[in-house]
Each structure stands twice: as C-alpha cells, then as structure tokens.
C-alpha cells in the first residue's frame, strides 16, 4: 500500500477540523492512487470527512468508488 | 449517622406511606439521604416512568446534537433530518466509546476512536477499515442493526421525556389524563424567546422535596406573600390524578375553603398539584397583555394550573404562557431545577415585548427562589434520625401525599 501522503495542507486541514478540504484531498489521493488497496484506503477517509463536512458530492464519489470495489455496503 | 434501613424496615416504612392520607406517614429519612435508596430510585422510579431530561428548544435546528448526563447515564438528544427529536445512548456500538462531548450541529455522529459514523436516526453510515484497511465491510456488522441504541422519547409542553427501561406504556397512553385535562394547551405551538426566558437553580436538596413543595398551595400565604395578595389560599383547588385502579380515602377532601377535584383511573403516570381561580395576567406599562393561546375555553380567563408530572417535571399553564421545570437529580441531596418559560405567540419574541418578558421571568424567579429555603430546610430536617417521615394535613396535603404514595409504591414494586 502506498504511504500516507505527507501533505502539509492535509495535516493542517485535519488539525483545523476542516473536513471539506480533508475530504477533497483524500478523494484526489484516491483517484490518483496506483493500486486499488491504496485507492480504497484514501476513499474511506474521503468518505468519513465528506460525511462530517456534509459534502454530498465527495460523499457520493468516494462512496461510489468504494461500492464498485465491494468495500462499502 | 446512617439512616439506611434494612429491606424489612424499608418495606415497613414504605407501607405506612401508601396508607390513606389521614393515617399515612411521609417517606422515611433514608429516601432523602442515602445513596443506596437513590440508586434504587434510578431504576424503579425514573427508569420505569417517563422522566424529563431536557427541552426541545435546546435543539434549535435539524442535525443538532446535545449530550447530557441523566442519573449518570450518558445520552444524546438529537434533532434528526426530519426535525424529530430522538434520544440515544451516547455510546459507540463498537468498543463503547462516549460519542459526543460538546453540543452543536453535526452532519454525522462520528466516534472519535475508530470513526464509526452514525446518522441522526442512529444508523451506521460506515465502519471504516472494519474489514481490513480500505475495506469497510465487516461480516458481523449490519449497518441498520448495529446502530445507536435508541431510548424512547416524547416531547410534551416543550420538555423531552424519556422512558429508560422501555417498558412504560406509550407517553400519550400513560399521560392520557393530563393530555385530556390540558388538551387545549397540549398541541399549541410554544414560543421560547431565548436566554431571557430561562434560568437554573442549584439546590442542596433531594429531588422529591422540590416536587412535594410544588404540589401544594398550603405554603403560599407564608412563603409567597406577594402571590397571596392576588391569589389567596381559598382561591386554590387541588389537582390529583392517581395511577391506581381505585380511588382511595384521599379521594375527596372537601373543606369549606378548598375544593378538590379528584379523578382516579389507571394510568402509569400520576400527577398532582393545584389550580387557581383568580389568575390575573401581567400588564405592560402601556397596558398591553401577552397574547393568549388560540381557542381556549373561557374558564382559562381566570384559571391557571400547576401540576407536578411525576417523577420530575413541574408544569404550569396560563392563558398567555406556560412554563416547565425539569428537576435534574444529581444525588441524594443535590438537584438542579431547569426552568423555561414559553409564550403563546411568536410575536412575544419581539423587541417590543422585551421588558415585559423580563418582568415575567423576574416574577417567576422570585417565586421559585422564595421556595429554596424550604426545600433545602426540609432536606436539613431529614437528618434528624428520630423523624418518622411526618404527617399530612388531610385538607391541605392530599396532593403532596399522592406523590409520596406514588414514590413509595414504585419502590415497593418488585
Ligand atoms: S469505539 Fe467507536 S469506533 Fe471504535
Ligand atoms: Fe412555592
């Protein structure tokens, strides 16, 4: 599995409880990930942060990706 | 000196409470002092009834979540997406982490431990990595089954009630008699105007003493001389609703001055209190009065009623406002009264009613503060080990005795 992004922007977003930014960054990471395990890992985090942000667009994108992979009911 | 009774002594003491008002004694001292008794009340008195835990107005919009502690139980009060008030245990179904620490609007209820996330109906949205990294499906988990544990709840007169043991009849069934008595008020929308219409009183007293004092009008001339100037003792009547199948000796106290209205039906939720025949609404400086609730019977022009809905909610209705007091039992000798006033019409929230609202809140604050020394004084008196629970003056104390009898019979139940 790919290492977790060491992205300063992401950590700042997490620290500040900026779930919308965190969701978007994780979603980007998921879509750019090289293998499906990494993609699912990031999409999971994108989904949780999207729920918290109330960001339905990212919620649907990450949720859709996970469901297609059989990793979310 | 401990005032704890052994099971046999307790049974004997409680049996004296459930007798008729003219021979009964009050609850024994241990009921006001001992942690053991308090712990048993949690189950038998509060858990088995519909108890007040908060106010619907504290959930100002959909998706609002308010954590509370009720008798040591962590709960969350929730306003769901459909605007319904719901109550859940504030605990994650995974490893039992407490979910919510601070009130607020939240899009999802996420456990801070492993991020299991629930919607406002308690259903799991996701159990992240539960099936291994990146896999959110775990064979054991059914999203809709392993949701938050819901506690039965109901909103009445602005108060959120819960039935912790889940065994009580539905709220409307249990409280059919009060709903009928106050049918004209029960479904009216209430306006809460914010911080100027509520206050709290922390009391060094057992929760029951706050209820007992509220049940009676006997103390009005002595403790509330200002009220008595317009609401004299002889203008008050008793209100008593038993939860037992048969009327008892307490059922018809009629003196030349105080008439009692007594009915007796099977309900699981009893109440008692008093009414006044001479309610006179407050006047603003410019002669205005608060607007009244819609379509009230003419009798409410002059009548107002005050009822203790057992175990711990005190209610008052007038043609132009109501109030509710939730007594939060903190321990055998510690309680907090949460008092909130509600108006009949939304316009009362406006700035032009501000002075009048403040006056009304100040008036009630004075009345309830006048009661503090008695409820705390009765608590102090209960340390007298030779005290037998006290006697009741049948003409004046029947509503108070009804509460004692109710509380005793709950404790006597197996
Ligand atoms: S305890 Fe709540 S997610 Fe693990
Ligand atoms: Fe009083």
Asked if residue B12 is part of any domain, the answer here is no
Other C-beta atoms closer than 10 Å to the C-beta of B160 total 25
Cβ contact, residue pair A48, B117, below 8 Å: yes
Residues of chain B contacting A2 with CB distance shorter than 8 Å: none
Same domain, B236 and B91: no
Q: CB contact, 8 Å: B120 with chain A?
A: no
Token pair 């029951």 is found at B208
Count how many Cα atoms sit within 13 Å of the Cα of residue B107 in the half-sphere of its side chain.
13
Instruction: Tell me the torsion sign for CA atoms B89, B93, B96, B101.
Output: negative
Same domain, B150 and B243: no
Q: Which atom of ligand 1 lies at the shortest distance from residue B96's CA?
A: 1
The residue whose CA has the least distance to atom 4 of ligand 1 is B114
User: Residue B119 sits in a domain of what CATH number?
Assistant: 2.102.10.10
**How many helices (H) and strands (E) would you count in chain B?**
12, 18
Per-residue pLDDT at B206: 98
User: Distance between CA B65 and CA B78 in Å, rounded?
Assistant: 5
Phi/psi of residue B46, nearest 5 degrees: -85, -50
Q: What is the mean predicted confidence (pLDDT) over B85-109?
A: 97
Same domain, B245 and B148: no
Cβ contact, residue pair A71, B115, below 8 Å: no
Same domain, B196 and B118: no
Cβ contact, residue pair B117, A39, below 8 Å: no
Using the predicted structure, report yes or no on whether residue B357 has a pLDDT greater than 50: yes
Same domain, B201 and B65: no
Q: Domain ends where: B128, B156, B184?
A: B156
List B residues 78-117 in contact with A (Cβ-Cβ < 8 A).
106-108, 110, 115, 117
Asked if residue B34 is part of any domain, the answer here is no
Using the predicted structure, report yes or no on whether residue B262 has a pLDDT greater than 60: no
Q: What is the mean pLDDT of chain B?
A: 91
Same domain, B323 and B252: yes
Q: What is the mean predicted confidence (pLDDT) over B310-320?
A: 97
Other C-beta atoms closer than 10 Å to the C-beta of B394 total 17
Q: What is the mean predicted confidence (pLDDT) over B347-357?
A: 95
Using the predicted structure, report yes or no on whether residue B405 has a pLDDT greater than 90: yes
Q: CB contact, 8 Å: B125 with chain A?
A: yes
User: Predicted confidence band at B307 (pLDDT cuts at 50, 70, 90)?
Assistant: very high
Same domain, B103 and B186: no
Using the predicted structure, report yes or no on whether residue B314 has a pLDDT greater than 90: yes
Q: Which of B107, B136, B143 sits opposite A44 (nearest CB)?
A: B136
Same domain, B289 and B386: yes
* Chain A with chain B: Cβ pairs closer than 8 A: 53
User: Distance between CA B110 and CA B49 in Å, rounded?
Assistant: 31
Q: Domain ends where: B132, B156, B180?
A: B156
Instruction: Tell me the torsion sign for CA atoms B13, B14, B19, B25.
Output: positive
Residue B385, domain extent = 170-412
**pLDDT, tens only, B137-184:** 987 666 556 799 999 999 999 999 999 999 999 999 999 999 999 999
* Contact residues for B217 (Cβ-Cβ < 8 A; gap 6+): B233, B236, B238, B258, B274, B276, B396
Q: What is the mean predicted confidence (pLDDT) over B92-113?
A: 97
Q: Domain ends where: B93, B123, B156?
A: B156
Q: What is the mean predicted confidence (pLDDT) over B364-386?
A: 97
Per-residue pLDDT at B286: 86
Asked if residue B104 is part of any domain, the answer here is yes
Per-residue pLDDT at B25: 98
Low-confidence ranges of chain A (pLDDT < 70): 1-6
* Contact residues for B210 (Cβ-Cβ < 8 A; gap 6+): B203, B314, B327, B335, B337, B371, B375
Asked if residue B79 is part of any domain, the answer here is yes
Cβ contact, residue pair B136, A66, below 8 Å: yes
Counted domains in chain B: 2
Token pair 């106290």 is found at B253
User: Distance between CA B54 and CA B61 in Å, rounded?
Assistant: 15
Other C-beta atoms closer than 10 Å to the C-beta of B253 total 22
The residue whose CA has the least distance to atom 1 of ligand 1 is B95
8 A C-beta contact, residue A61 and residue A28: no
Cα–Cα separations (whole angstroms), residue A70 to A23, A31, B111, B129, B407: 20, 16, 23, 13, 56
**pLDDT, tens only, B203-261:** 999 999 999 999 999 999 899 987 766 667 788 999 998 875 444 434 333 332 333 33
* Contact residues for B9 (Cβ-Cβ < 8 A; gap 6+): none
Same domain, B135 and B59: yes
Of how many residues is chain B composed? 414
Residues of chain A contacting B126 with CB distance shorter than 8 Å: 44, 47-48, 51, 72
SS3 of chain B: helix, strand, coil, percent, to 5? 30, 25, 40
Residues of chain B contacting A38 with CB distance shorter than 8 Å: 134
Q: What is the mean predicted confidence (pLDDT) over B183-209?
A: 96
Burial of B411 (0-12, 13-18, 19+ CB in 10 A): buried
Same domain, B78 and B152: yes
Query: What percent of chain B lies above the pLDDT cut of 90?
Result: 83
User: Residue B298 sits in a domain of what CATH number?
Assistant: 3.90.380.10
Q: Which atom of ligand 1 lies at the shortest distance from residue B127's CA?
A: 3
Q: What is the mean predicted confidence (pLDDT) over B254-276?
A: 55
Per-residue pLDDT at B180: 93
Which two three-digit tokens encode residue B48? 């088995």
Ligand 1 — pocket residues by CB below 6 A?
A: B 92, 94-95, 97, 111, 113-114, 116
Residues of chain A contacting B117 with CB distance shorter than 8 Å: 48, 51-52
Asked if residue B193 is part of any domain, the answer here is yes
Same domain, B140 and B231: no
Residues of chain B contacting A41 with CB distance shorter than 8 Å: 129, 133-134
Phi/psi of residue A42, nearest 5 degrees: -65, -40
**pLDDT, tens only, B25-73:** 999 999 999 999 999 999 999 999 999 999 999 999 999 999 999 999 9
Asked if residue B73 is part of any domain, the answer here is yes
Q: CB contact, 8 Å: B139 with chain A?
A: no
Same domain, B220 and B142: no
* Contact residues for B270 (Cβ-Cβ < 8 A; gap 6+): B241, B242, B243, B310, B402, B403, B406
Q: Which of A37, A48, A73 sits opposite B133 (nearest CB)?
A: A37
Token pair 């890992």 is found at A41
Per-residue pLDDT at B209: 98
Asked if residue B4 is part of any domain, the answer here is no
Cβ contact, residue pair B125, A52, below 8 Å: no
């Amino acid at each position: 599995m790919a290492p977790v992004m060491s992205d300063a922007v992401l950590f700042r977003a997490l620290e500040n409880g900026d779930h919308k930014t965190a969701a978007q960054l994780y979603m980007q990471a998921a879509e750019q990930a090289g293998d499906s395990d990494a993609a699912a890992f990031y999409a999971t985090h994108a989904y949780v942060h999207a729920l918290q942000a109330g960001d339905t667009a990212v919620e649907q994108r990450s949720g859709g990706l996970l469901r297609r992979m059989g990793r979310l009911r | 000196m401990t005032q704890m009774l052994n099971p046999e002594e307790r049974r004997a003491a409680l049996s004296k409470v459930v007798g008729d008002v003219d021979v009964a004694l009050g609850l024994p001292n241990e009921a006001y002092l001992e942690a053991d008794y308090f712990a048993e009340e949690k189950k038998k008195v509060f858990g088995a009834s519909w108890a007040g835990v908060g106010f619907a107005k504290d959930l100002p919009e959909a998706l609002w979540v308010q954590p509370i502690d009720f008798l040591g139980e962590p709960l969350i009060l929730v306003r769901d997406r459909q605007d319904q008030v719901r109550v859940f245990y504030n605990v994650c179904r995974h490893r039992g982490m407490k979910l919510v620490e601070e009130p607020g609007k939240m899009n999802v209820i996420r456990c801070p431990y492993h991020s299991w996330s629930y919607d406002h109906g308690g259903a799991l949205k996701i159990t992240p990595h539960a099936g291994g990294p990146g896999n959110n499906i775990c064979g054991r988990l059914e999203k809709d089954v392993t949701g938050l544990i819901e506690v039965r709840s109901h909103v009445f007169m602005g108060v959120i009630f819960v039935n912790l043991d889940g065994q009580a009849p539905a709220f409307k069934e249990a409280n059919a008699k009060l709903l009928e008595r106050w049918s004209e008020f029960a479904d009216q929308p209430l306006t809460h105007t914010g911080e100027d219409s509520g206050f709290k009183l922390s009391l060094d007293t057992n929760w029951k003493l706050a209820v007992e004092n509220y049940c009676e009008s006997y103390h009005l001339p002595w403790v509330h001389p200002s009220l008595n100037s317009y609401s004299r003792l002889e203008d008050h009547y008793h209100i008593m609703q038993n939860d037992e199948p048969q009327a008892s000796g307490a059922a018809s106290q009629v003196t030349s001055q105080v008439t009692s209205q007594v009915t007796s039906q099977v309900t699981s939720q009893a109440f008692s209190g008093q009414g006044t025949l001479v309610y006179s609404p407050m006047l603003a400086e410019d002669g205005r009065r608060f607007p009244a609730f819609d379509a009230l019977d003419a009798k409410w022009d002059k009548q107002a009623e005050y009822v203790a809905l057992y175990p711990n909610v005190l209610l008052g209705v007038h043609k132009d406002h109501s109030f509710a007091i939730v007594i939060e039992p903190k321990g055998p000798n510690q309680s907090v009264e949460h008092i909130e006033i509600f108006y009949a019409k939304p316009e009362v929230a406006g700035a032009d009613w501000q002075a009048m609202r403040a006056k009304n809140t100040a008036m009630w604050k004075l009345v309830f503060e006048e009661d503090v020394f008695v409820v705390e004084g009765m608590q102090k008196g209960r340390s007298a080990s030779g005290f037998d629970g006290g006697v009741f003056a049948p003409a004046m104390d029947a509503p108070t005795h009804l509460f004692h009898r109710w509380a005793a019979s709950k404790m006597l139940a197996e």
